[in-house]
Amino acid sequence: MTQPSNERGQGAAADVDLPTQYRPADVEGRLYERWVSAGLFTADPARDPARRAYSIVIPPPNVTGSLHMGHALDHSIQDTLVRRRRMQGYEALWVPGMDHAGIATQNVVERELAKEGLSRHDLGREAFVERVWKWKGESGGRILGQMRRLGDGVDWTREAFTMDDHRARAVRTIFKRLFDDGLIHRAERIINWCPRCLTALSDIEVEHADREGELVSIRYGSGEEEIVVATTRAETMLGDTAVAVHPGDERYRHLVGRDIELPLTGRRIPVVADEHVDPAFGTGAVKVTPAHDPNDFEIGRRHDLPFLSVLDERGVITAHGPFEGLDRFEARPAVVAALREQGRIVKEVRPYEHSVGHCQRCATVVEPRVSLQWFVKVGPLARAAGDAVRDGRVAIHPPEMAARYFEWVDNMHDWCISRQLWWGHRIPVWYGPDGEVVCPGPDEEPPAGWTQDTDVLDTWFSSALWPFSTLGWPDKTPELERFYPTSVLVTGYDILFFWVARMMMFGLYAMDGVPPFTTIALHGMVRDQHGKKMSKSFGNVVDPLDWIDRYGADATRFTLLRGANPGGDVPVAEDWAQGSRNFCNKLWNATRFALINGAHVRGPVPGELSTVDAWVLSRLHAVIAEVDAHLESYDFAKACETLYHFAWDEVCDWYVELAKVQLADGRAEATRRVLGEVLDNLLRLLHPVVPFVTEELWTSLTGTGGDAGAVRTIVTAPWPEADPGRADRGAEAAVESLQRLVTEVRRFRSDQGLKPGQKVAAALEWGASPLAAHEEGVRALLRLTAPGDGFTATASLPVEGVTVRLDTAGAIDVAAERKRLEKDLAAARKEVDQARRKLGNEAFMAKAPEAVVAKNRERLGQAEADIDRLEAQLAALPAG
């Protein structure tokens, strides 16, 4: 077992510096600044090459953002992993930083300008970008300070920003390589377009929500050429260039290859056969508007159809005619009215719920639109990203999430990387006077007089470089050599496709086939206690800073991590945070008790131990092994549950209470040492999850308080190691028997309405039970006094081979107790009857799985034991 080198002196009761109550606000800020100033989170690639390296890069939060529950969960997981590895002796690096958040940041600054009656166009591009940098310096990055509140143990000396000078050089470098390799090209494709932000959007910047629209069925053509299509976007019919049907649909075989009339336009359009059409859906015929629908775009390319755009960048109709100049939502009812007037409406407009994409930043309905944009050809990059997981170079936790990853990378479309913004990495391509195109490298100057492309890169382009650009790439740095590939990426499953896959593609491409991380650990979304998504509209959003203010950072972290099952969503509730605060207080009180009673960590644990001391050490080492296994498999919920129940149930509720007896007799010194040993290891096990309270308690327990730069701190204390030699099944069995005895008597007392602290006279008949050695402890736990003169047993409980005779005269309602026991006895007999009938049923025994049969046998045995116990208790009740 690992031992601290700076120990507290041994002895009896001692003066204790710890306040009587734990107040997080008095501890957290002070400790965090001490850790940072002492350089405890700073990694050094040149330090001790023999030490294993461990690295995580933080998913960079937006510069416009503030800490929300999703961040708090994500950061708590990462901090737990890094703190544990640091304690295990790794050279551990956790890189912090922020994303420039192109659209979000530009929107924020434009809103500020609007208050002054200005637009970005009034300033011009250069002045506007300067204004954004000024905003970033004055108001952006609040989340970095909030990360300190949470306790993030990041290396602040390596803070990065996706638009700082080094990241800009990395972006220019990889763009040049991709461009020269033919993996970046410019083309007219259909993309997501925001008519308000006036830019293309990535898929992740589009939020889909079910909305009730209107489905209208329209007759195209007439007579033998008649065909009916249905749409929720009637205004786009002005841009139709075909009607498509399935090749095998006999209803329309005679129309394939012929032209039909498109209402309201005077144009004739062809009927084409395409496998994409579902003949069983609706009429089996669909209108094809290649310039305004992604599926129609592909049909148009397959059949070489014209791409006719009828909406401008602001969503206004451009088609010549009566609808020209109308907004798309104004044009929709106008087109339907015109069709109705011509008798083209086959069915009246009816409500129809469907998924509608909205701009994540401004909530405007997104418009699919053909536009000239820059794209990354992702085919070979995506294949490499899939292969890295398939061949085991990268592991995904939980493993079942791998199927979702493959579904994305195996079917990825070319990535639109250009944005029509001013804030961001400007596309490093210049155009000559005669249409020439050049992409100079990061250290090259473009030809004089040439014009740079006006678009900027998608924010995800620069953040895809994050795992290696933050380590110094494209330069060959000591950090890149020591810490790449990073050890694990921790992120939500909701961005598995959009960010994780892109980092995989660029990391493998830029780093000669070495993936950016060896493990992808995915967690779920934080939801309310009912499993509902947090939303301002639902009124169920929880601000983690509010919880930190009221309950402390440790309680906030513990609440989140206790619900973090691998890949599953994480429900939270305020009363759970209160429970976590109570847990921290429990640790505080237990440690104060230990210190007051002279607990220490000096010298080895004695070889000769009491059964109780041997039991708690046996359980401690079993818990160390369990926690290690859970953390290695990224099961933070199970790790926290294991620690919670060991700390609260076993250490505080049982061992501390039993230790009180031992501290008063000749076993006091051994118990002081064991108590110190247990708390020392328990606090170190808990430190990665609840760093503040454990630091304050551990430094008091081990005598290493004071300035963290001068003395030991739990931050760098050795991680506990399980010692199989401490396993003692005999001691565990003895204490488990004692616990069952105490629990049963406590239940009896509670059933009789006796207060927990109320003393009751009792005679204990031990027979041959080894529990006789623990009589003093049993009496202390149960508040049982020795029988005195006039003692008369009014109740008798046979438990664990011990008979407990209680004098509860005047305290027990005998009739009520008899009634309760008879009710429980009837239920037990019913259980026995049911189990016996099943086990005696030949058909059941022949068909039931072995596990089901075993379960019924177990139920039968338990019910029979309950009958024996209840009958004995009834027999022991006094007459009356």
Bind-site residues for ATP:
536
451-452 and 430-431 beta bridge pairing: antiparallel
Distance CA 58, CA 615 (A): 41
CA-angle at 120, arms to 118 and 123, nearest 5°: 80
Q: Which residue has the tokens 């007051």?
A: 596
**Residue 216 forms beta bridges with which residues?**
231
First to last CA, the chain: 59
Distance CA 120, CA 290 (A): 33
What residues form the annotated binding site? 536
The residues, ordered by sequence, that sit 6+ positions from 90 with a Cβ below 8 Å of its Cβ are 51, 52, 53, 54
The residues, ordered by sequence, that sit 6+ positions from 811 with a Cβ below 8 Å of its Cβ are 752, 753, 754, 758, 760
Q: Which two tokens stand for residue 350?
A: 């009816």
Distance CA 880, CA 868 (A): 22
The secondary structure of the chain in percent helix, strand, coil, rounded to multiples of 5, reads 45, 20, 35
Distance CA 835, CA 818 (A): 26
Which ranges of 608-728 does DSSP label H, i.e. alpha helix?
611-632, 636-645, 656-663, 668-686, 691-702
Measured from the Cβ of residue 49, the count of other Cβ atoms closer than 10 Å reads: 9
Distance CA 324, CA 835 (A): 79
* 771 within 8 A of 738, measured Cβ to Cβ: yes
680 backbone φψ class: left, alpha, beta (φ>0; ψ -120 to 50): alpha
Measured from the Cβ of residue 457, the count of other Cβ atoms closer than 10 Å reads: 20
Q: Which two tokens stand for residue 418?
A: 């250009």
Q: Which two tokens stand for residue 64?
A: 């416009």
Measured from the Cβ of residue 738, the count of other Cβ atoms closer than 10 Å reads: 25
Q: Is the dihedral of CA 379, 380, 381, 385 positive or negative?
A: positive
CA-angle at 762, arms to 756 and 767, nearest 5°: 120
Distance CA 289, CA 287 (A): 7
Radius of gyration of the chain (CA): 36
CA-angle at 207, arms to 201 and 212, nearest 5°: 125
Distance CA 564, CA 524 (A): 8
Q: Is the peptide bond before 474 cis (omega within 30 degrees of 0)?
A: yes
In terms of C-beta density within 10 A (0-12 exposed, 13-18 middle, 19 or more buried), how is residue 535 classed? exposed
3 state DSSP class of 194: strand
What type of residue is 397? Answer: H
Of the candidates 335, 333, 308, 305, which has an alpha carbon nearest to the alpha carbon of residue 321? 335
Q: Which two tokens stand for residue 863?
A: 């019910």
CA-angle at 62, arms to 59 and 64, nearest 5°: 160
Q: Which secondary-structure segment (H or E) carries 837?
A: helix 814-839
Q: Which residue has the tokens 């299509």?
A: 229
3 state DSSP class of 168: helix
Measured from the Cβ of residue 822, the count of other Cβ atoms closer than 10 Å reads: 12
Q: What DSSP state is assigned to residue 91?
A: E
Distance CA 722, CA 847 (A): 44
Q: What DSSP state is assigned to residue 346?
A: E
